[in-house]
Copies of this chain bind each other. A is one copy, B any other.
Amino acid sequence: MSLTAKRVSELATHVAGRVLGDGDVSIFRVAGLDSAGEGEIAYVEEERLFADASKTRASCVITPVGADVRVPCRIEVKNPKLAFALMAEVLHPPKQRRPETHHTAVIAPDAKIGDAVFIGAFVCIGENAIVGNRTQIRAGAKIGDHVRIGNDCVIHPNVFVEDGVSIGNGVILHAGVVIGADGFGYVRGEMGYHKFPQIGTVVIEDDVELGANTCVDRAALGRTRIGRGTKLDNMVHVGHNCDIGERVVIAAQTGISGSVTIEDDCVIGGQVGFGDHIRVQSGAIIGSKAGILPGKIVRPGVWWGIPIQPLDEYKRLNAHISRLPHVRQELKELTERVKMLENELRQNEE
């Protein structure tokens, strides 16, 4: 991990914050409020934690503007957590590997490799592939033929990128990611299944990050797309011909069937399941473990459950379900009262 010291005043400038205290203090690392010590900067956002924050041993604390946090040195900003993340980018830049091509790497003679590229041991790079400047391709990654990878990417160990896939700038692919394997499509014939052609491609746009062991299948025909700035967690499945927009966040183990469109700025929980041909409109939020039926259009709002419902409906129905024993009891009592009424009426008549 890098140790690039910065002065508090430099860090404050970087996030447009205001220093209250000694701006010359040196900061080496970000840390949590509890564990932080000398040379470390922490942050606090919620008022209920201000008293605790006042006891921290961090050399500096990032706080909301006007926060009652009593420490010798703090930086006031509008969004402390964001400022903390931005400072971490400065103090802990992604590991820079010395540009080199390991002698064991197998690179096609006609592959075009940019400047200052790191290529680790046992890497393969296929025919006519293009790798941009400052990109790191770590040990054991396999890059197919005709693949294009942009600048400043990090391809972690044992990733596989199949032939013809296109990857933008600043993309991070964590270990074990598979991009461009055949989509799952078959046509039943008399003797069994025939593969529906899986001859399309995958486009991963700039600043995408894919978690470990995540799989993005190639399109049957056309392309599968992951839009700019979108982040996928570990073991997410993206089927053939999906179109995932920009700045979408998808948590771990979610599965997306073929031909699903997720528009910009959606947030998808973990272990969600999408049937095929769904369209999720921009800004929708889908809770973890939700299930969405094929062909559904999901409007903006917060959605939950199997099949998905608006969150407040889901909660109301769940409340109704939990009151079911009570409903049965009420019904039983009411039946008893009706029986008494019937008896009474019968007696009156006699």
A residues in contact (CB < 8 Å) with B: 1, 29-32, 35, 79, 81-82, 84-86, 88-89, 92, 95, 102, 104, 106, 120-122, 124, 138-140, 142, 156-158, 160, 162-164, 172, 174-176, 178, 181-182, 184, 186-189, 191-197, 199, 207, 209, 211-213, 215, 217, 221-222, 228-229, 231, 233-235, 237, 239, 246-247, 249, 251-253, 255, 257, 270-271, 273, 275, 288-289, 291, 306, 316-317, 320-325, 327-328, 330-331, 334-335, 337-338, 341-342, 344-345, 348-349
Contacts and interface: CB of A to CB of B under 8 A. Distances in A.
Copies of this chain present = 3
Given A88-B199, A178-B213, A325 B316 contact: yes
B160 A184 contact: no
A213 to B, nearest CB: 5
A306 B249 CA distance: 23
Nearest to A275: B288
A302 to B, nearest CB: 14
Given A235-B237, A235-B253, A337-B338, 10 more contacts: A142-B158, A157-B160, A158-B176, A174-B182, A181-B234, A184-B233, A192-B247, A255-B271, A323-B328, A331-B334
Contacts of A341: 338, 341-342, 345
**For A104, A209, A289, which residue has the most chain B Cβ atoms within 10 angstroms?**
A289
A144 to B, nearest CB: 9
A244 to B, nearest CB: 14
A98 to B, nearest CB: 12
B175 A89 contact: no
Given A30-B197, A193-B231, A197-B30, A239 B215 contact: no
